[in-house]
Amino acid sequence: MEEETSQVGGYTLIQNRSDCMKAKQGLSTKCVHAGKIECGRVAPVASPIFQTSSYYYPTEEGEGYIYTRHGNPTQEIAEDRIAALEGAQAGLVFSSGMAAITTTVLSTVGEGGHLIAFEDLYGNTYTFFRSELKRFGIDVTFIKTKDASRIGRFFRSNTKAVFFESPTNPLMRVLDISRVSQAAHKWSAKAIIDNTFATPINQRPLELGVDIVVHSGSKYLNGHSDVISGLVAGSKKDLHEIEELRTTMGGCLDPNAAYLLQRGMMTLCVRMAKHNENGLKVAEFLENHKKVNKVHYPGLPSHPDHELAKSMMHGFGGMLSFEIKGRRREANRFLNELKLLLAATSLGGAETLISVPAETSHSYLSRRERLGLGIKDNLVRMSVGIEDFEDIKKDLNQALSKI
Ligand SMILES: Cc1ncc(COP(=O)(O)O)c(C=O)c1O
C-alpha cells in the first residue's frame, strides 16, 4: 500500500492510496474502497469533504495543494475510483459530462487538427462538434455507424482522434470498440469513447484498446439524480494535458459534488446488477406489447448488434428506446399518463425516467437532422430504474393502454 503524507491546515493528511489499479480486487471492492482518504488521528469511515477553495502554502519542495480549481482531496477520491474501475493509470473529475468532453477533445485534437466522430451522439456533444469546434480551428468528419467497417477512408494526416459512444444515445447501436481503436492507432490518433451508458461495470473500453474514456458522472456513476459531474480516465500521459486545460478553462468539480459523486460510486456494482436485470425484462415486455412498434436494446436477440454486444459487454444496462405506435402526440400522451415512472430527461438514477428525445436530449437539432439520425418523433427513451419490475410493468401497461 502506497502512503503519501502532507500537511493540511496543521493536521497530517494521510492518503492511504491502495494501488487499486494494480490490485487484483473485484469491481465491487474497488467501488467501495478505491481512493479512500484517512486523516491522521481522526480517521472517518466516510470520506471527508474538503470544502475549501485554497490551502496553506505548499511545502518548500512544492508539494501539496494550492487551490481547488487545480486539485482537491475529495475530487481525488472520485478520480482514483474511476481510474481503478476503468483499469486506467489516472482519472480526472469535471463540473459536468460536457466539461469533460469539451476539455478532452479540445486538448487532444488541438488547433489545426481533425476529429472523426460517429454521428450517433448525445445531442450537446453533437452540437459542440458540429457548431463550436470550427472556431477553435478543428475540422470534424461525422460518420455513420454503418460506415464503421470503412472508417479507414475518413482519416487524414492531421486526424488526432476518433470520438464515439457505444451503446449510442438514444438508438443503442453498438460499435466494435477494438476495431475502431485499431483504426485510430494505425493513424496515430487517439480513440475516445463516451462510456456513460455502459459504465465500467458493463464495459471496460481501455481493455479493448481505447485510449481515453469520458463519462457524464451525472448518470449511473453518481446514480441518484442529484449531481452534475463528469469524469475522464486514461494514461497519465494522455490525462496530463487534459488536466492542464481543465485548470485553465475552469471546469473543476466542487468538493461537495465530488463527495456525492464518490458516495454514489460506492454502490455502482449493485445498482448496475439491478439495472441490467430490469432493463432486459422491460425490453422483453415492450417487444411483445401491441402498442409498441420496435424496441432498441442490445440485450435482445432481435437487436442488430446483439452478438457484438454479447462479446464486449458484461451486462446490457438499463437504457433502451422504443417506437410507440403513433406519432409524437401519442408519445406525449403516453408520458402524461404515467403514474409512477417519471417523465423527465437524464438517466442512470434509481428511479425510472422516460423522455422523448425529439423534445429533450436531441431537441437542439432540426427535425430533418433528427430524422437523418434515425430519431423518429415517436421514439421514447427509457432509463429503467431499480424499482420492482412488476411495478414498472404495471405503470407502462396502464399508460400504453391509454393511447
Ligand atoms: C451519453 C451522454 N454523454 C454526455 C452527457 C453530458 O453530461 P452532463 O449532462 O453531465 O454534462 C450526457 C447527458 O445527458 C449523456 O447522456
* pLDDT 10s digits, 16-42: 444 545 567 899 999 998 987 767 777
Distance CA 266, CA 346 (A): 21
Active-site residues: which are they?
A: 69, 122, 194, 219
Distance CA 138, CA 129 (A): 9
Contact, 142 vs 129, CB < 8 A? Answer: yes
Q: What are the residue ranges of CATH 3.40.640.10 in the chain?
A: 67-265
Give the pLDDT confidence score for residue 21 in this predicted structure: 53
Q: Look at residues 389, 388, 390, 362 and name the one whose alpha carbon lies nearest to residue 376.
A: 362
Higher pLDDT, 139 or 44: 139
Give the pLDDT confidence score for residue 60 in this predicted structure: 73
Distance CA 6, CA 387 (A): 44
At residue 78, does pLDDT exceed 50? yes
Average pLDDT over residues 373-397: 96
Q: What are the residue ranges of CATH 3.90.1150.10 in the chain?
A: 269-400
**What fold does the segment set 67-265 form as a domain?**
Aspartate Aminotransferase; domain 2 (3.40.640)
318 Cα–ligand 1 center, Å:
16
Mean pLDDT, the chain, integer:
92
At residue 369, does pLDDT exceed 90? no
Q: Look at residues 94, 72, 76 and name the one whose alpha carbon lies nearest to residue 84.
A: 76
226 Cα–ligand 1 center, Å:
14
Looking only at the bridges linking them, the beta strands covering 114-118 and 159-165 are parallel
SS3 282: helix
Average pLDDT over residues 263-273: 98
Give the pLDDT confidence score for residue 36 in this predicted structure: 76
Which three cell numbers, joined as nine digits, stand for 261?
Answer: 459523486
Q: Could you tell which of 219, 227, 359 is best to mutate to test the pocket of ligand 1, judged by most ligand atoms within 8 Å of the CB?
A: 219
CATH code of the domain made up of 269-400: 3.90.1150.10
98 Cα–ligand 1 center, Å:
6
Give the pLDDT confidence score for residue 59 in this predicted structure: 74
Determine which residue's CA is closest to atom 14 belonging to ligand 1.
Answer: 346
Ligand 1 site residues, Cβ closer than 6 angstroms: 96-98, 122, 125, 165, 169, 194, 196-197, 216, 218, 228, 230, 361
Name the E strands within 195-329.
212-216, 230-234, 292-296, 319-324
Give the pLDDT confidence score for residue 270 in this predicted structure: 98
Looking at the chain, the whole-number percentage of residues with pLDDT higher than 90 is: 82
Higher pLDDT, 244 or 59: 244
Distance CA 90, CA 84 (A): 8
Distance CA 185, CA 92 (A): 23
Q: With bands split at pLDDT 50, 70 and 90, how would you rate the model's confidence at 217?
A: very high
Distance CA 53, CA 23 (A): 33
216 Cα–ligand 1 center, Å:
5
Of 44-58, 70-84, 164-178, 382-396, the range with the lowest mean pLDDT is 44-58
**pTM over 0.75, yes/no:** yes
